[in-house]
Every structure is written in C-alpha cells, then in structure tokens.
Amino acid sequence: MQTAEDIKALVKETYGGIAEQSKEQNAASCCGAGGCSTVDYAVFCEDYTKLEGYNPDADLGLGCGVPTEFAQIREGNTVIDLGSGAGNDAFVARAIVGEKGKVIGIDMTEAMIAKARENNEKLGFNNVEFRQGDIEDMPIASNRADVVISNCVLNLVPDKGKAFTEIFRVLKPGGHFCVSDIVLKGELPENIRTAAEMYAGCVAGAMQQSDYLALISEAGFTNVTVPKERAITLPDDILANYLSPEEITAFRASGMAIMSITVYADKPADSCCSPGSGCC
C-alpha cells in the first residue's frame, strides 16, 4: 500500500515531466507525459482560449473545469490558486483582480513553479507570485485570501480533509473557495483504483462525491454548492491498460460515473479558524 509520501513523490515526478512539455505534446500523446502507461490528461480539460488573461504558454491542458467561472472574484481581491501549475488559472484570475489585486499560486512541483515564474516574468505582472509548497501545509498566513481556487488538484492530495482545513485557515472570514475536481459516483474497478499511474492522472485518487462534499462541511464551510458537473468518459484504449475487454464492458454497464465537478463554499464571516482547531 502506498504511503502519502509515496503518492506525493509520484505526483511530483509525473507533473514534473509534464512541465517540460507543451499542451500540444501532452494532447498529441495518447496518455499525456510519459507515454501510454499513464492516463490522457486531455480527456478532462476544458477550453480556456477565449478567457481574458489566457496565456497559451501557461496552458498545459491539465484542468478538469474552469473554477474562475463561478468563483465570484472581484477587482482588488487576493486570490490563492492551489496546484497552480504553469500559471493558467492564476493569470485568468489576475485579469479579474486587476492591478489592485493579488494572486498567489502554490505548487509542490519545482519544475512547475519554475515554468510559472518564467511565464510571469514574460508577462511582467508584479502582483502575481508563485510559491513552492504543500497544499496540506500552505506557506501562507492565516486569513489572507478573499478567494481560493483550484483546478483538478485536490483529488491528488492524500489527506483531503487537511487540505480543506488549510483552505479554511488561509481564507479571510467571509471569504470563499471555488474548485474544480474529479469525484466518483459508484465504486471504481480494483485495477483502476490501485493503479499508480491513474492516481497521477486524477482518477484513482478521486473520492465519492458525497464524501468529498461532507469533508468540506466538516472543515467549517457553509453554502456548499455544485454549480457545474459533467461526466468524464475514459476511452477504451486507456482502460485497456488496466481492464480486460469483458471488464470494460461490465464497467460501462455498471452505472459508475467519473465526474468533473465545480464546488463553491463560504467561510462564515464570524469564524477565523477551522472547528476544533483552537487557534482563535
């Protein structure tokens, strides 16, 4: 059984390799970085090209939604982007917050941080920064952000409950988060659930949607809503790496669904820390 550190090492290795490729290279291969032993990241991503602030150098096709679409970001806000990658969502957020706002991207992969900083230097933004760090222990002061966003990253975090507690901590009272992520409805076949490559591809690390939403409420958030969801269909040529033809047929007929969801939730205005933390 993999430990949390094993999982983080795998994610770092996988996404470090992706950082060295362009979106076209990732999409052109059948399974993203590393060849056909891994899942196709392009299966999940949505089109960003018409969004204000879009920068093609920062778009590696790794997301599963557009969290800024429902994040209610306003001019002058401070926004934290978790798992910021090459900066795609951070730069879109920066277009909304404007010169008076602030965007902080956090990513644990050194190669992604380097690529994001290189992109930011080209754009010349002095109110966007990228910090290397762990989502379960963010290098951010408490009560710092108006909005937290994330795109297809929290499903990769081993301790998701701790991640939501950290999101609660860094948000200002009255702030909110909006994240796009992969969740499940029904149980994954064992071969997929235990495959390390699929974990790095956002599938095997996904939780049941009901459990995912419960963790958010347990962290202290209110008004937990799902403004957008869509079913993800994994191509047969990817499933064939893990399942027999008969197992694929059974999987298709099972009613089990892999879902891309966007979740919004508020931090109550009268709270500064997560329930039971004792830090207030």
Q: For the domain 4-262, what is the CATH superfamily, name and number?
A: Vaccinia Virus protein VP39 (3.40.50.150)
pLDDT above 50: residue 209: yes
Beta 145-151 vs 222-232: how paired, if at all?
unpaired
pLDDT above 80: residue 203: no
187-200 confidence digits (pLDDT tens): 878 887 766 556 55
Average pLDDT for 265-278: 76
Coil, helix or strand for 69? helix
Q: How high is the mean pLDDT of the chain?
A: 83
pLDDT above 60: residue 276: no
108-167 confidence digits (pLDDT tens): 889 899 999 999 999 999 999 999 999 999 999 999 999 999 998 898 888 899 999 999
pLDDT score, position 274: 60
State what percent of residues in the chain have pLDDT above 70.
78
- The model carries a pTM of 0.83
